[in-house]
Amino acid sequence: MKISFLLHNAYGIGGTITTTFNLAQALAERHEVEIVSVLRHRELPNFVLDPRVSLRPLVDLREEKEHPLHLRPARVFPRSEYRYGQYSELTDQRISEALAVTDADAVIGTRPGLNVHLAGQAPPHVARIGQEHLTLDNHSPRLRTALRRAYRGLDVLTTVTEADAGAYRRRMRLPGVRVEALPNSVPDPVLPGADGSAKVVVAAGRLVPVKRYDLLVEAFAAVAAEHPDWQLRIYGKGDEHDRLRQLINDLGLWNNVFLMGAAAPMEAEWVKGSIGVAASDFEPFGMTIVEAMRCGLPVVSTDCPHGPAEIIADGVDGRLVPVGDRDAMAAALLELVGDDELRRRMSRAALENARRFAPGPVVEQAERLISEAVSARRAGRPVVRERRSTHLAARGFAARDTALVAASGALRIVRKGRP
């Protein structure tokens, strides 16, 4: 089969890019695979891509940022999608043209706005697989309403957790569309796993408010007070950098907490630590949690929707703490920092339990879904039959979202009318 991934920007940094590259490279062992990047802003990707996977951009911002069509707002890409401001009539046109001439058996969209293009514009013979890397609850009522209509043109919709797949099945009426959880995969480590002896806690991800690195730094102050020889290393870049730097200085943690900048790949940095940590308010999956565990690090994470609880077995290979609870985070870290045997035992469990996120089982599931979608397209039939109970439940959620959209529109009108 030929499989094509439609990606926002393959030249950036982020979890969706990482998991797309991982899956594409694994599939390339048995299939012809390409990544179509809507945008390009630099010469080479941040991540190394297997040469068996072809990569081509549609809009090169280095040359076309001021293109007349790129200065006009997008008409196909949904306005309520988070990335809408980066799309335009030019991206609409290039995506439409790329889909019209694709020779792929299956095209995989990797975000809601691209799934809308895919569902409505792919040729009839092409299997259409939409991926959701956020959660249904993370989408606004306006976007959910748009997706209810558009996603009916898909063959398969995948989410990264079973909890979110269940939400889509209950709340969205998608007749004939198979909705299934497909977790992100992490390649088998090439370095020996961490041995638990380093006095280092490691966190990684974009420095943005939802990741709550401020809470993590504050929690680590309690660790540093009792164990001043331990460090917290935070890898990533983002808008929160300067505020975090100031917080570290204010708390006097300049010898214990370090902003390390971005690192790709992260494996060499994970194995230098003994504990992984994630303090997010919201985490659709938790790619860094899996990465850390695959390198032998037990992970302390907030029990936020939806990913961490489907990855971490609390008390076995890590700890789950309430969202936003600085003291609980500090206590969980102190428990692992202060007990060498517990840390080593959890390290061994993390290595073993994280194997289910290895490329093998995930790619096998992905291949099955793609093959079934391709076969269904060729036979002119839906991948699954709609269940009546699902239809009735989804109607209620659709009506509620419609009411929320209407109320939001009325509120905007009222606000505009105020002097």
In tens, the pLDDT along 5-59 reads 999 999 998 889 988 999 999 999 999 999 999 999 999 998 889 999 999 999 9
Mean pLDDT along residues 190-202 = 94
Q: What is the rounded CA–CA span in Å between residue 77 and residue 55? A: 22
Q: According to the model, what pLDDT value does residue 388 have?
A: 55
Q: According to the model, what pLDDT value does residue 47 have?
A: 86
* Structure-block tokens of residue 343: 């840390």
What pLDDT digit, counting tens, does each position of 328-387 carry?
Answer: 999 999 999 999 999 999 999 999 999 999 888 899 999 999 999 999 999 999 888 655
Q: According to the model, what pLDDT value does residue 18 have?
A: 87
* Structure-block tokens of residue 76: 């196909």
Q: According to the model, what pLDDT value does residue 237 have?
A: 92
What pLDDT digit, counting tens, does each position of 253-279 carry?
Answer: 999 999 999 997 899 999 999 999 999
| Summary count for the chain: helices (H), strands (E) | 15, 13
- Tokens 């994470």, residue located: 301
In angstroms, how far apart are the furthest CA atoms of the chain?
Answer: 66
Mean pLDDT along residues 374-402 = 73
Mean pLDDT along residues 121-132 = 97
Selection from 176, 198, 227 nearest residue 330 by Cα: 227
Q: According to the model, what pLDDT value does residue 13 have?
A: 81
pLDDT of 396 > 90? The answer is no
E strands present in 350-398: none
pLDDT category of residue 395 using cuts at 50, 70 and 90? low
What pTM did the predictor assign?
A: 0.83
Which helix or strand (DSSP H or E) is residue 333 part of?
helix 326-337
Q: According to the model, what pLDDT value does residue 306 have?
A: 82
Q: According to the model, what pLDDT value does residue 94 have?
A: 98
Selection from 141, 139, 279 nearest residue 206 by Cα: 279
What pLDDT digit, counting tens, does each position of 71-123 carry?
Answer: 999 999 999 999 999 999 999 999 999 999 999 999 999 999 999 999 999 99
pLDDT category of residue 243 using cuts at 50, 70 and 90? very high
